[in-house]
Amino acid sequence: MTLDHGHAGGALAAGAGIPLPGDGRATTLWRVERWGADATRWATLRLDRAPTDRDFARLRVAPYAVTEHLGNVLCTAGWTRLLNLAGGLGGQAYDNTHTRIGVGNGTVTAGGGSVPAVAADTDLAAASGAANRWFQLVTASTGGPTVGGTVPKTLTYVAVFGGSDGNFAWNEMGLDAGTASGATVTAPLLNHATSIAQGTKAAGQTWTATATLSFT
């Protein structure tokens, strides 16, 4: 397993850009588990449906590779949504029917600059179309949001990318608020990690993406 350290998350601040003493921080650990086409076909025949990471675990089929990338930018629109929810000001929560993990092959930020991502990002950097980007819905059966940890506290999402989903180079990741898997972002984009270099997913493979947000 490899661990890549990426761009750190944003700091929580109050007032006119003045950080609070002991200011809080948030970042994301992105974990990618991979099963090859042969393992996916075998599990599909056993289950009579597309397998998830939990299915592979029950069938005792280990992933052929596992990598992690630490870091992201918490996007301004995402922070605004979280703070509105915390303050009871309205807005849809990032629950297991309104959250997707997005991956793309983009190498520059949606804000028009170069890597790393910036807080103003509202989308992945990848060009439009499923050949370049894909947002996979998180559901309860594949790991809906779970809260864990002590210090730091964590919030974890899991999405399973099946044989026909996300078949391109995984260079960036982010969470959005979509309700069905697809290639177009649904605002607000919560976070954005670029230069993650997770390799290229091939047709027929199953890759699982886990996003663990930590808050200190």
- Residue 17: inside a domain: no
Over residues 37-84, the pLDDT tens digits come to 999 999 999 999 999 999 999 999 999 999 999 999 999 999 999 999
70 within a domain of the structure (yes/no): yes
Residue 186, C-beta contacts closer than 8 angstroms, at least 6 positions apart: 100, 135, 176, 177, 178, 179
The letter for the amino acid at 36 is: G
Q: Looking at the domain assignment, is residue 187 inside a domain?
A: yes
Q: Find the domain containing 195 and state its range.
A: 2-6+25-215
> Is 83 part of a structural domain of the chain?
yes
Residues 160-179 as b/e (b if ≥16 CB within 10 A, e otherwise) read bbbbebbbbbbbbbbbbbbe
Range of weakest confidence among 14-18, 84-88, 118-122: 14-18
Residue 11 lies in a domain: no
State mean pLDDT over 148-167.
Answer: 91
Q: With respect to residue 14, please indicate whether it lies within any of the assigned structural domains.
A: no
pLDDT of residue 2: 42
Q: Tell how many helices (H) and how many strands (E) occur in the chain.
A: 3, 13
Tell me whether residue 157 is in a domain.
yes
Report the Cα 141 to chain-centroid distance in Å.
17
Number of domains in the chain: 1
Q: How far apart (Å, rounded) are the C-alpha atoms in residues 52 and 89?
A: 36
147 — pLDDT class (breaks 50, 70, 90): confident
To which H or E segment does residue 28 belong? strand 26-35
19 found inside a domain? no
Task: Report the distance separating Cα 165 and Cα 180, nearest Å.
Answer: 13
Where residue 11 falls among pLDDT bands split at 50, 70, 90? very low
